[in-house]
Amino acid sequence: MKRTIFSPASTSNLGPGFDALGLAVGWGIEVSLEPESPAGFSVILDGEGKEILPPDGRNMIIKIAREIAGAAADRAAWSIRSEIPVARGLGSSAAARSAGLAAGYLLRDGAVPPRHVIFEDASRYENHPDNASACVFGGLRVCGREGLDWRSWPGLLSDPGVELLLVIPNVPVSTSLARSILPTTYTRSASVQNLQGLSVLISGLARGDWDAVRVGCHDHLHEPYRLPMVPGLGDALTALRGDPGLGGAWLSGAGPTLAAFVPTDATTADSGKESIEILEKAGTGAALHRVAIDREGLRLEVSS
């Protein structure tokens, strides 16, 4: 029997929700494995990152599975296909870790545990819960800490047909580098502005008030420091935020991807094109994509 695990991409922060908001994206990593393969251990990589990710037991997904399942991971045949660009702020590491955890439990126990178990494990690996929460549970997630434990709650997207517009520069950004440039303290003004923006954003999303989302979708804690890392990125985000067809825009995670809400029935034929042009004039190539929101999260299929 072949087991296939799908682990979705994610965008985090959504502007002011630094390390607190995550939203699952309709791309992902698909891991197909055959336990106790008669042909023995093998790894096939396809899709995004296949040129740079190790096609053997050093692969993050297999390493994490081995931590749980031991030698059973080395007796399986693995096929890993990813749609998630690596180091672009779309949760590729959270998706890989979640898939590896699910695979490890599956190989050891014959079943995947409840989602909260995967989420808690993945959050410990990530050391922040936003991408892991969205990846595991799907949809919009609100995260926080209770003592030493990460917690996750569902957010409300009242527009059932809302999608995402992604502007993806062809320049990778290391998450560790993007975190290292952030200050260790913030002014009261910056903190208050983010709290106000987050409140307005959550209210707007729950009520389908896209004017409120546009107002709330601004950040003062990480975007001012990360946007200058890529030429043209700040101006490209300003252009997205000024597009009347979009419902707010933000720097996705550590970047450099820019993301924006596309409300149902929005007129967006030219949306994002100005941002692409701005980036290209600054010497940064980029691609434009319209993507659905993943509402299901991490999932398993079994086939003969």
Rounded distance between C-alpha atoms, residue 209 and residue 22, angstroms: 19
pLDDT tier at 265, thresholds 50, 70, 90: confident
SS3 118: helix
In this prediction, residue 304 carries a pLDDT of: 60
pTM of the model: 0.95
Tokens of 157: 């997207």
Domain spans, the chain: 2-155+294-303, 163-292
What mean pLDDT comes out for the span 67-96? Answer: 97
Rounded distance between C-alpha atoms, residue 289 and residue 273, angstroms: 11
Q: Are 102 and 115 in contact (CB under 8 A)?
A: no
DSSP 257: -
Q: Are 253 and 173 in contact (CB under 8 A)?
A: no
Rounded distance between C-alpha atoms, residue 186 and residue 42, angstroms: 49
Task: Write out pLDDT tens, residues 276-298.
Answer: 999 999 999 999 999 999 999 99
Task: Write out pLDDT tens, residues 115-170.
Answer: 999 999 999 887 789 999 999 999 999 999 888 789 999 999 999 999 999 999 99
pLDDT tier at 261, thresholds 50, 70, 90: very high
Rounded distance between C-alpha atoms, residue 63 and residue 96, angstroms: 10
Rg for the chain, CA atoms, rounded: 19
Pick the CATH number of 2-155+294-303 from 1.20.1250.20, 3.30.479.10, 3.40.605.10, 3.30.230.10: 3.30.230.10
Rounded distance between C-alpha atoms, residue 87 and residue 173, angstroms: 5
What mean pLDDT comes out for the span 175-184? Answer: 93
299: burial class by Cβ within 10 Å (0-12, 13-18, 19+)? middle
What mean pLDDT comes out for the span 162-183? Answer: 95
Give the CATH class of 163-292: alpha beta
Q: Are 9 and 24 in contact (CB under 8 A)?
A: yes
> Please, which residues have CB within 8 angstroms of residue 110's CB and are 6 or more apart in sequence?
none
Rounded distance between C-alpha atoms, residue 13 and residue 142, angstroms: 10
* Cα dist from 164 to 23, 38, 131, 249, whole Å: 10, 43, 16, 10
